């Protein structure tokens, strides 16, 4: 049986029309399965992604805080550097001002020095002009000096009271004569006789005693008020005054000491002359002192925590003879000495102890003090 071409072609056309519908359904089914598989895959992986996303967010927050903190620290550091820079610039400006002041001061001093040299030249010219007139009275002044020296030698009271001053003045007269001879008047003031007479006729109220002074110390100065630690050493050495506290019950005894130079410590106080001169006044029974390290010493006992004193300070020590209360001062200001008393003031002498080579003090036994004793 033969099949016509048209019939065959018609069947193929019908098959071809039906096939796409099945293919579409199949493809739709495949797509649905793929979608379900993908959905299940994402459902399984989503919790992990959610955790990872959460971690990423946390890291982002932390990173943000870290960066903000670093930025803040950088800003603070920059602000600090800016502040320090401004302070430095202010300091530099102050230093420049100070340097300018010093330069101005130096210029002023140089001008003063020039003026001084001019005055010195004028004085030398005047001395040269007056030399002939001075030479005429040379013999008379030499005779007066000899007469004055003889009067001093005849004064036994002066020798006993001030042996060091007598020897110093006698030495002074001899040195002048030996050194200058006929040219004496060119080297000394015309009023030398008057000045020497004033020294002898107005002795100080008190002075340091060369016979109560350790050999490592030297007393010097026109009134024997300065004491110097001359030897090499670092141990205590003491010196006493000539006169003791006066026997009176109705007055204040007081003296002051200027600290000209000190290495470590100086002790200023009162003691009986029985105290050895190799001891520190205050650290022995019956002695009283104020030391540079801020300690009041009473009969060898410490009262710590007081004001310290150093070079260029003026320290005062005394006693109210009516009450026996001790007095300590610093630079004219009275310090608190409540309940600090001396037992027998009439047996005490002003006493200072130095402990290092180069230490130097200058005493003042009155009447002009930085502190006013009458105010006690």
One DSSP character per residue, 104-121 reads HHHHHHHHHHHHHHHHHH
Say whether pLDDT at 77 is over 80.
yes
pLDDT attached to residue 372 = 92
Mean per-residue pLDDT, 18-44 = 76
pLDDT attached to residue 290 = 98
Between CA 29 and CA 208 the distance in angstroms is 130
Sorted by where each begins, the domain ranges of the chain are 7-130, 138-201, 208-375
Which of 46-55, 129-138, 309-318 ranks highest by mean pLDDT? 309-318
pLDDT attached to residue 8 = 47
Q: What angle do CA 38, 41, 45 make, to 5 degrees?
A: 140
Between CA 177 and CA 179 the distance in angstroms is 6
**Sequential DSSP letters for 169-234:** HHHHHHHHHHHHGGGHHHHS-TTHHHHHHHHHHS--S--EEEEEE-TTEEEESTTS-EEEE-SS--
Mean per-residue pLDDT, 233-254 = 88
Task: Find out whether 225 and 364 touch, Cβ atoms under 8 Å.
Answer: yes
Share above pLDDT 70 across residues of the chain, in percent, rounded to a whole number: 71
Q: How confident is the model at residue 7 (pLDDT cuts 50, 70, 90)?
A: very low
Which of 163-167, 178-182, 231-235 ranks highest by mean pLDDT? 231-235
Of the listed ranges 162-176, 220-234, 362-376, the one predicted with least confidence: 162-176
Half-sphere CA count of 239, side-chain side, radius 13 A: 28
Query: pLDDT tens digits, residue range 237-246?
Result: 999 999 999 8
Mean per-residue pLDDT, 358-362 = 96
Supply the mean pLDDT for the chain.
Answer: 80
Which of 2-11, 160-169, 328-337 ranks highest by mean pLDDT? 328-337
Mean per-residue pLDDT, 162-169 = 52
Q: How confident is the model at residue 273 (pLDDT cuts 50, 70, 90)?
A: very high
Its pTM stands at: 0.49
Of the listed ranges 5-14, 85-94, 253-262, 332-341, the one predicted with least confidence: 5-14
Q: How confident is the model at residue 152 (pLDDT cuts 50, 70, 90)?
A: very low
Mean per-residue pLDDT, 164-182 = 54
What strand order describes the sheet that includes 288-291? 208-213, 237-241, 349-354, 266-271, 288-291, 295-298, 301-303
pLDDT attached to residue 272 = 95
pLDDT attached to residue 32 = 80
Strand partners, 261: 360
Mean per-residue pLDDT, 113-133 = 78
Architecture of domain 208-375: Sandwich (2.60)
């Amino acid at each position: 049986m033969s099949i016509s071409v048209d019939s065959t072609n018609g069947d193929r056309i019908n098959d071809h029309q039906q096939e796409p519908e099945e293919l579409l359904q199949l493809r739709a089914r495949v797509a649905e399965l793929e979608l379900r598989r993908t959905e299940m895959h994402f459902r399984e992986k989503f919790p992990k992604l959610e955790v990872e996303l959460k971690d990423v967010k946390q890291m982002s927050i932390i990173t943000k805080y870290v960066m903000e903190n670093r930025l803040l620290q950088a800003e603070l550091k920059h602000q600090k550097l800016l502040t320090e820079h401004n302070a430095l610039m202010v300091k530099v400006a102050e230093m420049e001002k100070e340097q300018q002041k010093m330069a101005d001061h130096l210029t002023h001093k140089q001008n003063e020095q020039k003026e001084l040299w001019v005055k010195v030249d004028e004085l030398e010219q005047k001395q040269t002009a007056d030399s002939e007139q001075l030479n005429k009275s040379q013999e008379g002044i030499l005779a007066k000096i000899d007469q004055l020296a003889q009067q001093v030698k005849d004064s036994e009271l002066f020798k006993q009271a001030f042996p060091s001053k007598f020897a110093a003045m006698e030495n002074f007269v001899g040195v002048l004569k030996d050194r200058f001879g006929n040219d004496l008047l060119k080297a000394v003031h015309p009023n030398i006789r008057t000045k020497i007479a004033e020294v002898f006729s107005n002795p100080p109220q008190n002075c340091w005693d060369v016979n109560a002074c350790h050999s490592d110390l030297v007393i010097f100065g026109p009134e024997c008020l300065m004491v110097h630690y001359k030897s090499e050493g670092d141990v205590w050495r003491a010196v006493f005054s000539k006169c003791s506290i006066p026997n009176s019950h109705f007055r204040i005894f007081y003296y002051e000491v200027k600290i000209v130079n000190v290495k470590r410590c100086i002790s200023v106080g009162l003691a009986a002359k029985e105290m050895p001169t190799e001891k520190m006044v205050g650290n022995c029974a019956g002695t009283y002192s104020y030391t540079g390290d801020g300690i009041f010493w009473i009969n060898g006992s410490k009262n710590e925590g007081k004001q310290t004193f150093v070079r260029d300070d003026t320290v005062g020590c005394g006693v109210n003879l009516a009450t026996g209360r001790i007095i300590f001062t610093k630079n004219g200001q009275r310090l608190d000495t409540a309940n600090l008393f001396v037992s027998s003031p009439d047996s005490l002498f002003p006493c200072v102890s130095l402990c290092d080579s180069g230490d130097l003090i200058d005493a003042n036994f009155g009447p002009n003090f930085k502190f006013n004793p009458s105010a006690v």
